[in-house]
Structure 1
């Protein structure tokens, strides 16, 4: 039977509504293109074929009108498809087969999509077919794989206006070549004369009576598909994907994104990437291409650390790694120290480390940590930190890399403003720690979250380990520079008023000194807030406001609590003050809420019951604690503050 679209009806016992996984990838700091490229490259890196010592090759093809077979595309997306897409709420007036773009993504040196393709209920470490086509919110990756959340593939549908993808895979396990397609609309939808409800997801497949979507094995169909969209697939294992009606892509922007996000695996010789007709980015030419397409002014526009000098720094780290140079290993008890101390370093290396730092040379240190699975014994693992403080460095450059994946929002040297500007990189290569931190990553893989549900399911006290990895780099710089993790002025901050400049009188209470009053301004009544926020000693309490109680129709409400110790120098939160993800120190007692995340000085939760309560303890009673609560309901509300 020829492959065609199969649109499943909604099941009576299935929850209906709008898909929310896509919202996790609506990052203000990342373009849809950069998010797509991250997902499209990290998956092939995870799927490297066993025994393949060559770089994984990822190819992006960008084709406009006249550069692919639009008539063949019409056979894949018939009129009924667009009628159903429109019924789901999409604007279908924008689709023109003669004026659209197609994005092609192919990988080579990989395994292809392994596992069962005839039974959608099979799960397991290598069940990549089911994980890619038939799962959402979970994947088949395990161990130290770059991606684990199972939500990233939604980005493929997000970048194509038709919300469909088609793919051919050749599997290394059996050399089988098969083809399938899938759509993912934003919501379930009514369709037809009787307005039956249909699922968000449909499949281009060879359906059978059981309702299982089976891939096409028609060789002539696959040959036509490859020819229509200029694929290079052939019979080599890997995966080729086609996204029709793709957003217009700036190929130079795409190349810059590849360098910004994947410079490290390219420079290590583990990856090469082709973007349209531009030269293939390889280990040998990545710096030359970066000089041409990604100069330092562009690096700053992309909020990247990979300037020319930082790339040289990374190249030196890679050279040492390939030469077998092992970093200086500190004692395991470093984890229990607020400050690093001389005694944790090997006696024979101590002075050499300090002297190298004074000369502006790179320092390399290995930090041991323990991860504690709930099932089994604790595992000693490690990560490496490389640090340099050259003269006249204008800004901080840093990166946290878990294997080949840049965790781009983890930047902790920049937050330690009392430390000298430095270059640094934290590298997680050991399998056990990489697996742990993969579970800690948000679906976008841009940051870690010590309270992710998967961590709590599998590990004991995961927040402390996340904190150790985050803070090792600034702790090392603190020790080497002779700074203090906590500035002494904070210890007495609560006992003193802010000093007055010499020769000035103290302002009258309630007056704003130096401000001219040009007439009375109308008094705008404040809107009552539904929350009460109290900071009492070592604890923060959040309660309903009895004078303005929450109504059931307002729930759930998303709340973001931020905390800091107020300092006389006005610096605000310092990562060394506290980390709310450390569950041993900071206990959260709550009812009527759902915790979403806890990270550094932010606690995010949904209020689900009008009679909720939240208590967070473990703060320093000698410090002046400030907390503010932002919340979202039908309209934006003001911040609730207390100190």
Structure 2
């Protein structure tokens, strides 16, 4: 196994891999990205229709003096390329690497041809960046996500050992990769990508299959895989901020749902994160969403309801009806509202049609779970595709008093949502390129899924005129004891209450419209000095946290052409930033209307008078 770089020919276009920078930012640190990207692809690569436990091992391994000759041979040409790429070696010794290991079991491994380029996982992982051919809903796509592995290495390299489920021989295949910069070494210009591999007849990079070399590598790195299908990643020279104690809180934060529902077990150092241990470990390694225990209880109840599989079946046509009351039986609605009022968890299954451009209409379904939260709880809405949480979708359910989960496990719907996901797997985009190329009217379909929990909560949460005879049993079923002493007689003549002070009229009001809002002056009755100046800022509502701090200009922007429209009468406006503007009202009954927002999302508007 040697390091191979391809030479740049005179007519080739040089291209640096700038996407590496997005894996370690002020907002999302490297450790969070490493956890999310590595485990997301593990979840997607689960062996289909298998009851085998999905398990991940994360560990560190220190090389031994006995392995120095082995590593000297593997890395003997690496130092020159590192220096030519201006990658500082510093204190790291190429013959004494330490390793971060990430191994998955119960997965398919990297299937596909190993000695030629094809449209399957092996080529997607090793031979493509930013694009995959994996059919939606299946296996890890390995688009940009795999770039996190070299980014996690101080010397920008990693190795992969895979056993492939389609290979009956179960022979492990080993290869390594480094991503540097375009560089010149000994007057030869090289591409950024280098491979630790053998070369095929046509010069293509092929993995090491020699059993003795693979076994020596496995022992020298501390990998445990022998012939079990799956993928083992070995990252030499891991960056110093990556530690077991730093990894565990992010694993809990991003993967508590599949762990608590028994879909995933993760061995991290000496800790085992499972459905049985997560509650304890979430206290040892604090995770804000799980701090009060209520969220854990909800997810465990959800897991039980999912296993029992007795959902309330929402009638066909729910997604085309303006009111769910029109399609549900009245008796059932009243019963659901009584149960909801008591705090029961309700499990719904909703049918939906996903219209494929290639194959026509596919019937699918997804589940919604709702449960009123007890006092003191801080619910975080969950939007889940195949046990992978998509955190930025939480803003589509804004009831802070209800636990809600939208779960897509059905092949059709999970395929559709997989195509809608952004590269970081944190949100769905109704206009994503892959989604638009595969599905008809995808924005409409996605909107129905996003707002399903909100519509159902509005249906069952409307408890007006519902009488639950047990609702106050813990309060009114208390023995009443006679009070000692004489009975106090109230004064039959009491002074009339004082008149409340006359309120001062508000100088303006905010009126909600479909897809926007209007700020309107109160007229002459307000008696304010003109011009009246008002600072206004806007954001979409989110399930948890400060909506303004988490504002994203990709949601909307005053500075984008044809994004938002402002119509002013009797006033002028001035844009201050993407989501802040200033109104200067010249007449008492001025009016400023802002439109162009997503009509399916709630808008938060804050305003403040600016006095000169």
Do both share a fold (TM > 0.5)? yes
Alignment of 1:182-221 (within 5 A): 182-185=177-180, 187-192=181-186, 194=187, 196-221=188-213
The residue number in structure 2 matching 1:545 is none
In 2, the alpha carbon distance for the partners of 1:511 and 1:628 equals: 13
Greater C-alpha Rg: 2
8 Å CA contact retained: 2:383, 2:406: yes
SS of the aligned residue for 1:115 comes to coil
Corresponding position of 2:414: 434
CA distance in 1, matches of 2:555, 2:393: 11
Q: 1:406 to 1:87 in 2, by over 3 A?
A: same
Q: Residues 244 and 86 of structure 1: is their aligned pair in 2 closer, same or farther, counting only changes over 3 Å? A: same
- What's the CA shift for 1:439? 0.8
Q: 1:69 Cα deviation (Å)?
A: 4.2
2:478 matches 1:490: no
Alignment check: 8 A CA contact 1:363 1:386 kept: yes
Give how far 1:132 is off: 1.1
Give, in whole Å, the separation in 1 of the partners of 2:280 and 2:132.
Answer: 37
Measured in 2, the distance between the counterparts of 1:111 and 1:26 equals: 29
Give the deviation of 1:114 after TM superposition.
1.5
**Partner secondary structure for residue 319 of structure 1:** helix
Deviation at 1:184, TM superposition (A): 1.3
- Alignment CA distance shift 1:98-1:210 (3 Å): closer
Question: Residue 287 of structure 2: SS of its match in structure 1?
Answer: helix
Q: Tell me which residue corresponds to 2:350.
A: 367
Taking the aligned partners of 1:132 and 1:203, their CA distance within structure 2 comes to 13
Look up the match of 1:21. 19
Task: Give 1:176's aligned residue.
Answer: 171
- Equivalent positions of 1:554-633 (< 5 A) are 573=540, 601=556, 614-615=561-562
Partners of 2:55 and 2:264 within 8 A in 1? yes
Where in structure 1 are there 5+ consecutive unaligned residues?
A: 514-565, 577-596, 606-613, 632-637
Contact 1:389 1:420 in 2 (8 A): no
Q: Is the 8 A contact 2:75 2:94 kept in 1?
A: no
Distance 1:11 1:344, change over 3 A: farther
| TM superposition shift of 1:602 | 5.9
State the match for 1:104 in structure 2: 101
1:158 Cα deviation from its structure 2 partner: 0.9
The answer (yes or no) to whether the contact 2:218–2:224 under 8 Å persists in 1 is yes
Confirm whether residue 283 of structure 1 aligns to residue 266 of structure 2. Answer: no
Does the 8 Å CA contact 1:371/1:379 hold for their aligned counterparts? yes
Q: Deviations over 1:431-485 (max 9, x none)?
A: 11111111111111011111111111111221122222222223333344459xx
How far the C-alpha of 1:66 sits from its partner, in A, is 5.6
CA distance change for structure 1 residues 512 and 463 in 2, over 3 Å: closer, same or farther? closer
Task: Answer whether contact 1:143 1:432 (CA < 8 A) is retained.
Answer: no
Q: Is the 8 A contact 2:559 2:577 kept in 1?
A: no
State the alpha-carbon separation in 2 of the partners of residues 152 and 449 from structure 1: 18
Alignment of 1:365-404 (within 5 A): 365-404=348-387
Contact 1:168 1:180 in 2 (8 A): yes
Q: Distance in 1 between matches of 2:129 and 2:356?
A: 25
C-alpha displacement of 1:41 = 2.2
Spell out, residue by residue over 1:574-606, the C-alpha distance to the aligned partner (whole angstroms, 9 max, x if none). 589xxxxxxxxxxxxxxxxxxxx996546998x
Identify if the C-alpha distance between structure 1 residues 380 and 23 changes in structure 2 by more than 3 Å, giving closer, same or farther: farther
Task: Pick the aligned partner of 1:349 from 332, 344, 349.
Answer: 332
- 1:466 matches 2:459: no
What SS does structure 1 have at the residue aligned with 2:356? coil
Aligned counterparts of 1:616 and 1:222: Cα–Cα separation in 2: 56
CA distance in 2, matches of 1:161, 1:423: 42
Distance 1:625 1:472 in 2: 39
Q: Distance in 1 between matches of 2:416 and 2:534?
A: 52
In the aligned structure 2, how far is the partner of 1:617 from the partner of 1:505? 31
Query: Partners in 2 of 1:626 and 1:374 — Cα distance?
Result: 44
* CA deviation string 1:48-83 (max 9, x = no partner): 3356412122111113576994553333222x3232
1:538-588 Cα shifts (integer Å, max 9, x gaps): xxxxxxxxxxxxxxxxxxxxxxxxxxxx7xxx8754589xxxxxxxxxxxx
Which whole-Å CA distance do the structure 2 matches of 1:129 and 1:323 have between them? 38
CA distance in 1, matches of 2:298, 2:93: 48
Q: Distance in 2 between matches of 1:219 and 1:629?
A: 65
Secondary structure of 1:200's partner?
strand
Q: Is the 8 A contact 1:5 1:205 kept in 2?
A: yes
Alpha-carbon offset, residue 345 of structure 1:
2.4
Measure how far apart 1:618 and its partner are. 9.9
Q: 1:112 to 1:149 in 2, by over 3 A?
A: closer
Alpha-carbon distance in structure 2 between the residues aligned to 1:60 and 1:87:
32
- Residue 448 of structure 1: SS of its match in structure 2? coil
Paired residues of 2:159 and 2:177 also in contact (CA < 8 A): yes
Matches within 5 A, 1:68-467: 69=67, 72-78=70-76, 80-97=77-94, 101-120=98-117, 122-123=118-119, 127-145=120-138, 147-148=140-141, 150-172=143-165, 173-174=167-168, 175-185=170-180, 187-192=181-186, 194=187, 196-248=188-240, 249-278=242-271, 280-291=272-283, 293-294=284-285, 298-300=286-288, 304=289, 308-337=293-322, 340-412=323-395, 416=398, 419-467=399-447
Deviation at 1:227, TM superposition (A): 1.3
For 1:396 and 1:602, the matched residues in 2 are separated by 29
Structure 2: 5+ residue stretches without partners: 464-508, 544-551, 584-593, 595-612
State the Cα distance separating 1:155 from its structure 2 match.
Answer: 0.7
TM-score, normalising length from structure 1? 0.73
Deviations 1:389-442 (A, max 9, x none): 23424533211110121112221256x4xx452211110111111111111111
Aligned residue pair count? 525
- State the Cα RMSD in Å: 3.8
Change (3 A) 1:331 1:207: closer
TM-score with structure 2 length normalisation?
0.76
